[in-house]
Amino acid sequence: MATPLEPNYVLASDEFEKDKRLDNISDYQKLVGKLIYLTLTRFDISYSVQCLCQYMRDPLESHAKEAFRGKCLGSRRSVSGYCLFLGGSLISWKSKKQPTVS
pLDDT tens digits, residue range 75-88?
456 778 889 999 98
CA-to-CA distance for 69 and 17, rounded, in angstroms?
22
Identify the weakest region by mean pLDDT among 55-59, 61-65, 84-88, 89-93.
61-65
> From the centroid of its chain, how far is CA 60?
16
* pLDDT bucket at 96, cuts 50 / 70 / 90: confident
- Provide the strand spans (E) within 8-102: 77-86, 89-101
Q: Does the residue 60 lie in any domain? A: yes
pTM, two decimals, is 0.57
User: Pick the residue with more confidence: 12 or 61?
Assistant: 61
Q: Does the residue 44 lie in any domain? A: yes
CA-to-CA distance for 32 and 70, rounded, in angstroms?
9
Number of domains in the chain: 1
Q: Does the residue 57 lie in any domain? A: yes
CA-to-CA distance for 49 and 75, rounded, in angstroms?
17
Q: Does the residue 50 lie in any domain? A: yes
pLDDT tens digits, residue range 23-33?
888 988 998 89
What is the Cβ-side half-sphere exposure of residue 77, based on CA atoms within 13 angstroms? 14
Domain limits at 50?
Answer: 25-75
